[in-house]
Amino acid sequence: MNTYIDVPTAPDPATAFRTEGIKLYGPDAFAGMRLAGQLTAQCLDEISEFVRPGIALADIDAFVRNFAERHGARPATLGFNGYNYACCTSVNHVVCHGFPTTKKLRDGDIVNVDVTLVRDGWFGDSSRMYAVGTPRRSAVRLADIAYQAMMSGIGVVRPGATLGDVGHAIQSFAERQRCSIVRDYCGHGIGQVFHDSPNILNFGRAGTGVELREGMIFTIEPMVNLGRPEVKVLADGWTVVTRDKTLSAQFEHSIGVTAEGCEVFTSSPAGLHMPGFDMELTQHA
């Protein structure tokens, strides 16, 4: 997720329905994104095989480095603005950008693993929540709401819909479940660069903002908190946590707008959308 760069954060009538500056991609780009996205998704699938109590976050990082190397890809976060790991691992009340340190996972933790692999120049950016052992019901519920919030946003993507429609779908779903949306970070355009315009806000008003067009490529990556939406960045300059220390959850897909709706480049080949979670405890909406 990126901090806001060059697109207004609030709906502004002067810039509404502007699409200048947002790249439109053709079939070759979609093919490149499909390969990069599927590689990232396969990496996230394989991580689910060893996430359990007792493993260290650094084990996940080592796996991602090795996976990338074996598949002729590069982890985009390595060296990105001074970030020195192959992925981000955000446990419990960590919202995003957590360092994969030697800290060990414990039974009941929920952890977001965010991986971006670059293959043949295209960036596949995706993250999922993983259950470690048996998280408490509130944690399972939060992860499920974050997943469904992301899918609600993806569900309205089609030519003619607006970015406000996307933000509104995500926000209204999460808030209907009495959870809150983090405002300080957002999704982003992606393609042959990591973070491009436009910003994809996870809140907004239906019918406002940039109109989507076939060929746009971006991420949808809402961060949902059980408590209040406020966050702070720790002294390490990266780790984002909830101010009230309540749990936070996030999922991320890289998608492309098609004539009919959208293509999800980073969908799980193995169907592991919510790795480790007991699906009987999920499904709220």
Which residues, 228 to 247, sit near ligand MF3 by CB under 6 A?
238
Which residues, 76 to 105, sit near ligand MF3 by CB under 6 A?
77, 80-81, 83, 88, 97
Residue 207 to residue 20: CA distance in whole angstroms? 18
Minimum distance, C-beta of residue 13 to Co ion, in the bound complex (Å)? 28
Place of tokens 């796996």: 63
Choose which of 38, 48, 89, 116 interacts with ligand MF3 (CB under 6 A). Answer: 116
- State which H helix or E strand residue 256 sits in: strand 253-257
Three-state secondary structure call for residue 200:
strand
Three-state secondary structure call for residue 45:
helix
Per-residue x/- track, 246-265, Co ion (CB under 5 A): ------x-------------
**Which of 29-37, 75-83, 105-113, 149-157 is the region at the interface with ligand MF3 (rule: CB under 6 A)?**
75-83
Choose which of 221, 254, 262, 266 interacts with ligand MF3 (CB under 6 A). Answer: 221
Binding of residue 165 to ligand MF3 (CB under 6 A)? no
4 touches, from Co ion, ligand MF3, none (C-beta below 5 to 8 Å by class): none
φ and ψ at 189, to 5 degrees?
Answer: -60, 150
Residue 24 to residue 196: CA distance in whole angstroms? 12
Residue 20's CB is within 10 A of a number of other CB atoms, namely 7
Q: Total residues contacting Co ion (rule CB under 5 A)?
A: 4
Binding of residue 60 to ligand MF3 (CB under 6 A)? no
Residue 113 to residue 158: CA distance in whole angstroms? 28
Binding of residue 219 to Co ion (CB under 5 A)? yes
Q: Which two tokens stand for residue 198?
A: 């436009």
Three-state secondary structure call for residue 196:
strand
Which residue ranges make up the site for ligand MF3 (CB under 6 A)?
1-2, 77, 80-81, 83, 88, 97, 114, 116, 125, 221, 238, 252
